[in-house]
Chain A
Amino acid sequence: MAFVTANWNPLGESFYRKIELYEMGWNLKDGLRECLVAAAPYGGPIALLKGHYRRSPSARPQLEIYSSSGLPLASFPWKSGVVKQLGWTVSDDLLCVQEDGTVLVYDLWGGFKRHFSMGNEVSQSQVLETKIFHSPYGTGVAILTGALRFTLATNIDDIKLRRLPEVPGLQEAPSCWAVLTQDRQSKVLVANGSQLFILDNTACTPVTPPGLSPQASSIVHMCVSFSYKYLALLTDSGHVWMGTSNLKEKLSEVDTKIKTPPKQMAWCRRPKSQQPSAVVMWDGLLIVVGECKETIQYHLDDDSVLVPELDGVRIISGTHHELLQEVPGACEEIFKIASMAPGALLLEAHKEYEKESQKADEYLREIKEQSLLSEAVRQCVEAAGHEHEPETQKTLLRAASFGKCFLSNFPPEQFVSMCRDLRVLNAVRDYTVGIPLTHTQFKQMTVQVLIDRLVYRKLYPLAIEVCRYLKTPEYQGVSRVLKHWACYKVQQKEESDEVIAKAVSVKLADAAGISYSEIATKAYESGRTELAIKLLEFEPRSGEQVPLLLKMKKSPLALSKAIESGDTDLVYTVVMYLKNELNRGDFFMMLRNQPVALSLYKQFCKHQEQDTLKDLFNQDDDHEELGNFYVKASYKDQRLEARVALLQSAVDEYYKAKNDFSAKTTEDEMRLLRFQRKLEEEKGEQLVGFSLHDTMTTLLSVGLHKHAEQLYKDFRVPDKRFWWLKLKALAEKEDWEELEKFGKTKKSPVGYLPFVEVCIKHHNKYEAKKYVSKVTPEQKVKAHLAVGDMEGAAEAAIERRNESEISTVLSRCSATTDHLLMERLNRAKATAVKK
């Protein structure tokens, strides 16, 4: 195990180590010399533009894309303009910034996706330098133009170009510059000689790094840390100044003693590490600077590129791929020579245990005596995460597991999830996959993103394995991978629709939450409408199917899908679309076959297009509804002639519909209207629009008895109702004489109680009493009570020997005035009850 520290180098308080990740699989004749190189962070792909410095039209440069382990992904001759810069987006797309400010976007398989321009100003004055940066808002592009102005786009997926203010006194290209993200804003830091400026949207502010060595006359290089929190400046005097990026605090300054300008500089700082450190690279030399005067120097054989990462720097050369980082705390504690840290002791104990030596017990005791065993286990687990060699990982995890046996109640989650994570990490670090993620990076990037990256690389089976192994919810995991797979699958031109549709449905059958419409859209976009329709059949969400079906001009299908969804708005949408697309006849025919759509459309017409409604009824020979339609229309018209004409149409329709009742009723209505009009003209009485009942009441109340009688006969109003009506009308008028006369015309079909009540209602007790005697015996009590004749009521009730009537009368008696009556009633009640 001693060799673990073989590649460690001390710097101040801590150690740095350089780990070989891969021996590169590519075969580059000239190494990285004369190549434009871009490597994506988080172990992403590498793009090379070869032969790009030779500007002869005959030899086109070659663009090549590799995985981190150097396996080729794509290679094609570059046919567009002069490329100034390559860079990767957060979603593994390659950006190629051309001299004229055009940015071309490729996927990592070299497929062209799109292009966009950085604006007129840039294309006119040409790109001098450019930087591609990442911020919380996505991937951005910053350009320094030939006119020495900066143009910035913070997010290439939502391009909003910003031209930054001018830098005062800038005559030629600045010695160096960098993009910062501060206060949710991207800013540019520019060095012009020894002057330093911050450019934001509105202003150019001069700034001074605190405590910068006075010997410096120019800042020749700068770099910002991965988190944008720290800044390193390299001066022409060879000093590296390190501080916070807001330039408020200096962390350290180290003299590299090399005054030539470097090729590259990058931060090399772990999160939570105490020591700021940066890596500076010259031809053949790499220096790590930290807080102390000393530096670590590495010799480089080959042209190399530094790729800053969250927790270190990757160094890619023509043959090798290495990771340089500060040794993580847990690893240092365990492996540092002569370490007595609990983790180190536990590792030792486990080693002895394997050897079946009793020393194991001694070590264990020692840890346990200090009650540091759980700490020891934690250290071993953590350290395992930071080691790249599976053998070392295993040793550490075994030690942790051994230690755990002597602990009760030690939470297992950390150990279990570390084992899982490492299994996944080792799988993706594999040479064939080539994603050299550290555990820290993995945690930062999340499983979701890792799966995305695997999907971009078309490593679908591995992605699914990872999802299943890590138990990612299906919706975010397996289903998503399968969807991507299917989207890719439908673009394979060589296979037939049937084969692909079947393959997709079989694979996706059990996966939950698959959006088939997305896959179908992909198929449609690649010109395979039939396949798209087949795939849409699998989409459970009708709402998703409809827009695409409309786009593909499959309107009948779209309509039935919309109806299936139950979402009426969706049905309306399709119906309105069809209305505009089809001629009227076809449109009506289509609706006819879809009753749900038809009734919705009728609803729409009712409010918006009355005439269409009529046409629809006509088409269906729906005479009943047509009749109703005319009746309704008749009420909207003010002119009597028009109303009658409309009603006549209604009558005709009702007859056609064999609805005699409605037809006759409507004829009655016309008759009434005509009668009302005639009378209005003759007598000047407002009548049109009144119901028959109200018309008669009005006529009676103005004394036109004959006319009322005529209506009563003509419309065959039942006797009872006419009596009621007349009775009430006369009472209303207080025409008591006429009422009495009316009451004597013949035997009342409603009886005489109503006469009594109607008089009482109009407070005429005198008139009311006239009718009491005529009331039938059953209603006598009620009638007497109505006129307030208690004696009469009592008499009638007792005569009828009706218990409940007696009770009613009793309840109306008051104890003070009707004392005697009550006695009589009570007696009668008693006998009635006996019976």
Chain B
Amino acid sequence: MASHLFCGRVNLNILREAARKDLREFLDKCSGSKAIVWDEYLTGPFGLIAQYSLLKEHEVEKMFTLKGGRIPSAAVKNIVFFVRPRLELMDIIAENVASEDKLKPREFHILFVPRRSLLCEQRLKEKGVLNSFTNIDEYILDLIPYDGDLLSMESESSFRECYLENDQTSLYHAAKGLMTLQALYGTIPQIFGKGECARHVANMMLRMKREFAGSHTQILPVFDTLLLLDRNVDLLTPLATQLTYEGLIDEIYGITNGYVKLPPEKFAQKKQGEGGKDLPTEPKKLQLNSAEELYAEIRDKNFNAVGAALSKKAKIISAAFEERHNAKTVGEIKQFVSQLPHMQAARGSLANHTSIAELIKDITISEDFFDSLTVEQEFMTGVDTDKVSTYIEDCIAQKDPLIKILRLVCMQSVCNNGLKQKVLDYYKKEILQTYGYKHILTLKNLEKVGLLKPQSTMRNNYPTIRKTLKLWMEDANEQNPNDISYVYSGYAPLSVRLTQVLARPGWRSIEEVLKILPGPHFEERQQVPTGLHKKLLRCCRSRRGPL
């Protein structure tokens, strides 16, 4: 069920299992039949931890979405609220509880995700419903295993919170999550970081470590290094259009919590006799993770290399199906049949991805896509970043989607270390006149977080960063990549470069660039319990042995 978590170098299923265990324990605390009332935002992240079947095993019979008024009637003993600790949600819960049928009282419980909140409990108390709850608990869900090599907090607004609203709650969750990770996978001996927020997270981790002092985990460290990077160290990468297969799916259709919703037309079941008579109208929902062999293979390929991979796969699969003609003996047939389910799954997977690739191709071959990409690449290579771009001007004039305009303008600003006041004001005026004056606040917010800024007296230092970190590679090989720049067909993500340099030869070699990038850079060491230290050395030695 969670096979995608085994495939990486670290078994992330341990983390998922720990999370599932906590969930089961909480559900069992509310004995008897129950209905869950969901804070809708949470359903996605929870889907990565447990499916409905697990809830069902623990007597969850109904699920509702949290909204005002009365909770729909359901013959259950318990009502369990799964919510984030937010005041506005507390008001809704209070309303739910207050309008409950007094004659048939049900037991109420709250599960706060990821953490209990005194503030929220205070609010419930003010509303006079705090005592109606049998259990108030927290479900610590900070780092969610997303794929075999990826943990995510699935917290989409944390950049906004940290940089715009000065609310560092998500950093606290991050630090807590990393502590949980260390409790399961051992203390991480080295911590590197860059940026104010990274520093804050590291400080909290070290502080928490002191708090838990005495309860050392006696686990051999699985991770040797932790690198914390602020988003604002690398604002460029998220602005650029992603060009890998998975990246383009996300750009065009959006991947949320591991799922994508696709237009249904391409996925109509072609049955014999009814040539696409009833086209499905519901979007097709697909889960995307490395459990799917084919997807694991092509997800990170540059889109230009996906076609070849798909046709190669098609040949292999049809060859495999051809095998049946060679199967003569009963044993051979049996073996063939035993492989059938796997082959059929592979064929289904191939059909899906071929359809997706076709959908994407329609867009990538368009002139518009090409033009926009060209401008992006010009900015990234430092061409004409100091003047108003005619392309952007034309796009505004044609009222292209605002997000596209903002991405390009911000990118130009980032690649020019700020825009000349005249240029910036011109863009702003154009945007406001075209998309409405209300966006004056949007633009101000972009300026506050640094995505957009007027040029200071300092010279543009982006070229220095670009050259030192080799952010632009002229000859990116898309088919058989030998450098990470293939993912953006030329641009190598800054954060990846920072990571590469850290691994070899070390950050000392790029002091100058680190000074240009915002926030402090630092290095911390955490002591591994002495007993483990010896073991660790032994491990390293034996790992290195055969080399």
Contacts and interface: CB of A to CB of B under 8 A. Distances in A.
Given A691-B434, A728-B398, A665 B168 contact: no
B29 interface: no
B425 A661 contact: yes
A717 interface: yes
Interface string B115-131: 11111001000000000
B214 A512 contact: yes
A568 interface: yes
Per DSSP, are chain A's interface residues mostly helix, strand or loop, or mixed? helix
A479 interface: yes
B309 interface: no
B527 interface: no
Nearest to A670: B437
A322 B203 CA distance: 59
A513 B214 CA distance: 5
A571 to B, nearest CB: 9
B278 interface: no
B213 A573 contact: no
Interface stretch (B72-80, B438-446, B482-490): B438-446
Given A568-B168, A724-B394, A669 B437 contact: yes
Contacts of A602: 165
A668 interface: yes
Contacts, number: 125
B367 to A, nearest CB: 9
Contacts of A566: 168, 171-172, 175, 200, 203-204, 207
A715 B432 CA distance: 11
A631 interface: yes
A693 B435 contact: yes
A662 B172 contact: no
B414 to A, nearest CB: 21
Interface in A659-677: 661-662, 665-666, 668-669, 672
Contacts of A564: 207
B88 A569 contact: no
A112 interface: no
Nearest to B118: A573
Interface in A550-581: 564-570, 572-573, 576
Interface stretch (A52-60, A164-172, A243-251, A592-600): A592-600
A794 to B, nearest CB: 20
Contacts of B119: 569, 572-573, 576
Contact of A572 (B118, B433, B435, B444): B118
B512 interface: no
B274 interface: no
Contacts of A693: 399, 433-435
Contact of B87 (A513, A573, A607): A607
A488 interface: no
A784 to B, nearest CB: 15
Interface in B80-132: 85, 87-88, 115-119, 122
A713 interface: no
A540 interface: yes
Contact of A576 (B122, B172, B437): B122
B511 interface: no
B342 interface: no
B39 interface: no
Contacts of B452: none
Interface string B161-182: 0000111110110010000000
Contacts of B117: 569, 572
A666 B432 CA distance: 10
A721 B425 contact: no
Interface string A606-632: 011000000000000000000010011
Contact of B397 (A513, A600, A721): A721
B215 A513 contact: yes
A725 B118 contact: no
B210 A540 contact: yes
Contact of B165 (A603, A721, A728): A603
Nearest to B388: A718
Given A573-B122, A603-B167, A721-B396, A631 B434 contact: no
A724 B397 contact: yes
Select the residue from A473, A596, A718, A723 with max chain B CB neighbours within 10 A.
A718
Contact of A692 (B88, B165, B434): B434
Interface string A723-743: 111001000000000000000
Contact of B440 (A607, A665, A720): A665
A475 B441 contact: no
Select the residue from B165, B214, B434 with max chain A CB neighbours within 10 A.
B214
Contact of A724 (B167, B398, B435, B437): B398
Nearest to B436: A691
Contacts of B435: 691, 693
Contact of B212 (A473, A513, A600, A690): A513
A628 B444 contact: yes
B354 to A, nearest CB: 23
A596 B213 contact: no
Select the residue from A479, A511, A665, A725 with max chain B CB neighbours within 10 A.
A665
A567 B175 CA distance: 10
Given A573-B119, A693-B433, A631 B440 contact: yes
Contacts of B399: 693
A390 to B, nearest CB: 34
Contacts of B207: 540, 542, 564-566
A410 interface: no
Contacts of B214: 473-475, 479, 511-513
A473 B168 CA distance: 35
Interface string A197-237: 00000000000000000000000000000000000000000
Given A607-B88, A691-B434, A568 B167 contact: yes
B160 to A, nearest CB: 11
A635 interface: yes
Nearest to B421: A661
B403 to A, nearest CB: 16
B211 A540 contact: yes
Nearest to A721: B397
Nearest to A595: B166
Given A566-B200, A631-B441, A596 B166 contact: yes
Contact of A569 (B115, B213, B444): B115
Given A474-B214, A512-B213, A693-B399, A608 B87 contact: yes
Given A475-B215, A724-B398, A665 B118 contact: no
B430 interface: yes
A668 B441 contact: no
A724 B115 CA distance: 53
B393 interface: yes
A541 interface: yes
A635 B165 CA distance: 21
Given A567-B172, A725-B397, A717 B441 contact: no
Contacts of B169: 568-569
A570 B172 CA distance: 11
Interface in A664-712: 665-666, 668-669, 672, 690-694
B429 interface: yes
A607 B87 CA distance: 9
Interface in B389-404: 393-394, 396-399
Contacts of B433: 691-693, 715, 717, 721
Contacts of B172: 566-568
B52 to A, nearest CB: 30
Interface of B: 85, 87-88, 115-119, 122, 165-169, 171-172, 175, 200, 203-204, 207, 210-215, 393-394, 396-399, 425, 428-430, 432-438, 440-441, 444
8 contacts: A569-B85, A572-B118, A573-B119, A665-B440, A691-B433, A691-B434, A715-B433, A720-B393
What are the 3 A-B residue pairs with the smallest beta carbon separation, nearest first? A513-B214, A512-B214, A599-B166
Given A566-B172, A568-B172, 8 more contacts: A479-B214, A569-B85, A572-B118, A596-B168, A608-B87, A631-B438, A632-B441, A666-B437
